[in-house]
């Protein structure tokens, strides 16, 4: 049993409330339900016993609420200044290595997925080493991210990144497409590189970001100048495949040769430690050997047989996890809601209400964003429908982010009928075979606003 008593030799951790900061063990972030810590395992995956020990520590030292973020990071909520050191000690005792520094992300099944063009992990390791060895050390934005994607079945094409490096088969040779990105504008390809040129090129770009200041992001760079520097001799750069379907973790996935991956996802990004512990116990008893965290709030279980995966999947469903890609909860993006000091809406309650009354909207053609405030942490990019907490109740944004001017408002007492009105709008106007997104696009903002305000 993990104790939440802080070791006497450790001082209180620094606490960060700055927008854009990353809440690490060294600098947890204060939220509405205490301190929040975000962890990135330094290894490809965790043993079930390691993740179980972490869940036990989350219950002993915090509220027991565990989150897997949209990018596949682990968050532990409800901590205090005195319990964070105990959590850190428990993580160390479990033998879990936690990554720090620049976030360099690879797909969750990198090295396991035989459909990858290339395994991105050696390139990621080389880049991490180059960044760590660089003197003087780089001062980069806390949330700057680098994606290195081998472009297999479980890709990261729908994850935003300041720098994106994607494997391509180019004239029967492996090449890596380097692009500049961010959430504010489309990604801009700047170079097509042989493997040995990737790390030096990325280090050049990171050095330029360092010179621009500690808040500079990929979107701030001059893509045309960088493209001319790296690619003047190769002509037009290929476009990246943004038409690839998004990766949904939930389901039983076969990878050939009897290799099975059971995917589950956390409903509305959260679970209780007791539910996670029970799930992990069962999975381990039936043969699970490794757990990999995945984007879209996913947990991937390796080592199970087909028969065992079906048993564990049924147990996961009984504990409230998402186990199939057609679960409507997959298509609702929520922030922490009232657990955050900035929130004006209980996003989890609103999400449950949406499931109750919004079946026509949740056909998978669009993601509905529920944001406790205008920051839009759960989904920085635009959504067809975004519900935002407001002092007067609920604000609706059509085809925008949580930060743009709302199209309509409803008070707290009218939200059920408002959501039911949107659902009825689609049900009554959708043509045969038409998706909810296509229907809403055809009807337009004015019809959507009327349905929301008068439903």
Structure confidence by residue, pLDDT tens digits, 25-74: 888 999 889 999 999 999 999 999 999 999 999 999 999 999 999 999 99
**HSE-CB for 433 with a 13 A CA cutoff:** 0
Query: pLDDT tens across 63-73, in order?
Result: 999 999 999 99
pLDDT at residue number 8: 40
Res 209 pLDDT > 70: yes
Q: Architecture of domain 109-231 in CATH?
A: 2-Layer Sandwich (3.30)
| CB-count exposure of residue 333 (10 Å: 0-12, 13-18, 19+) | buried
Res 183 pLDDT > 80: no
Q: Enumerate the β-bridge partners of residue 37.
A: 76
Claim: this prediction has a pTM higher than 0.95: no
Give the residue from 158, 197, 199 showing the smallest Cα distance to 181. 158
Question: Token digits for 164?
Answer: 């994106």
pLDDT at residue number 15: 47
Q: Do domains 29-101+249-325 and 109-231 have the same CATH topology?
A: no
Question: Token digits for 246?
Answer: 């998004």
Position 237 confidence tier, pLDDT thresholds 50, 70, 90: confident
**CATH says 330-454 is which class?**
alpha beta
**Which sequence spans correspond to the domains of the chain?**
29-101+249-325, 109-231, 330-454
Of 106-110, 245-249, 256-260, 366-370, the range with the lowest mean pLDDT is 245-249
Q: What is the rounded distance in angstroms from the CA atom of residue 164 to the CA atom of residue 179?
A: 5
Between 206 and 17, residue with greater pLDDT: 206
**CATH says 29-101+249-325 is which class?**
alpha beta
Question: For residue 79, how far is the Cα from the chain centroid?
Answer: 22
């Amino acid at each position: 049993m993990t104790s939440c008593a802080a070791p006497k030799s450790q001082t209180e951790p620094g606490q960060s409330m700055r927008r854009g900061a990353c809440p690490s063990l060294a600098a947890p972030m204060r939220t509405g339900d205490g301190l929040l810590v975000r962890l990135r395992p330094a290894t490809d995956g965790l043993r079930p016993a390691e993740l179980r020990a972490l869940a036990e520590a989350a219950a002993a030292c915090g509220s027991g609420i565990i989150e897997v973020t949209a990018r596949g990071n682990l968050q532990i909520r409800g901590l205090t200044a005195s319990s964070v050191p105990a959590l850190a000690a428990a993580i160390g005792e479990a033998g879990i290595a936690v990554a720090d520094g620049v976030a360099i992300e690879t797909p969750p099944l990198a090295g396991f997925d035989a459909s990858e063009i290339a395994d991105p992990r050696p390139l990621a390791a080389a880049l991490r080493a180059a960044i760590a060895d660089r003197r003087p050390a780089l001062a980069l934005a806390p949330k700057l991210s680098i994606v290195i994607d081998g472009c297999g079945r479980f890709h990261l094409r729908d994850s935003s990144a300041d720098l994106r490096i994607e494997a391509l088969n180019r004239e029967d040779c492996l090449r890596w497409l380097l692009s500049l990105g961010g959430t504010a504008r489309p990604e801009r390809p700047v170079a097509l590189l042989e493997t040995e040129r990737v790390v030096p090129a990325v280090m050049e770009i990171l050095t330029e970001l360092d010179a621009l200041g500690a808040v500079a992001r990929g979107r701030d760079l001059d893509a045309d100048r960088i493209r001319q520097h790296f690619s003047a001799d190769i002509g037009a750069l290929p476009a990246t495949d943004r038409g690839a379907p998004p990766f949904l973790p939930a389901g039983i996935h076969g990878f050939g040769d009897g290799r099975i991956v059971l995917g589950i996802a956390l409903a509305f990004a959260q679970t209780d430690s007791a539910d996670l512990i029970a799930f992990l116990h069962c999975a381990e008893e039936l043969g699970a050997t490794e757990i990999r965290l995945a984007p879209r709030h996913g947990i991937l279980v390796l080592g199970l047989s087909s028969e065992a995966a079906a048993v564990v999947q049924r147990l996961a469903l009984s504990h409230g996890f998402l186990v199939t890609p057609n679960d409507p909860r997959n298509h609702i993006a929520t922030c922490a809601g009232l657990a955050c000091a900035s929130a004006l809406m209980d996003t989890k309650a609103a999400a449950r209400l949406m499931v109750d009354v919004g079946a026509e909207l949740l056909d998978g053609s669009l993601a509905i964003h529920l944001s406790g405030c205008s920051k839009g942490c759960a989904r920085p990019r635009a959504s067809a429908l975004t519900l935002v907490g407001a002092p007067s109740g609920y604000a609706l944004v059509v085809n925008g982010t949580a930060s743009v001017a709302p199209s309509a408002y409803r008070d707290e007492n009218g939200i059920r009928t408002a959501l039911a009105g949107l659902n009825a709008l689609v049900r009554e106007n959708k043509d045969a075979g038409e998706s909810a997104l296509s229907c809403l696009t055809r009807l337009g903002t004015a019809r959507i606003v009327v349905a929301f305000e008068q439903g």
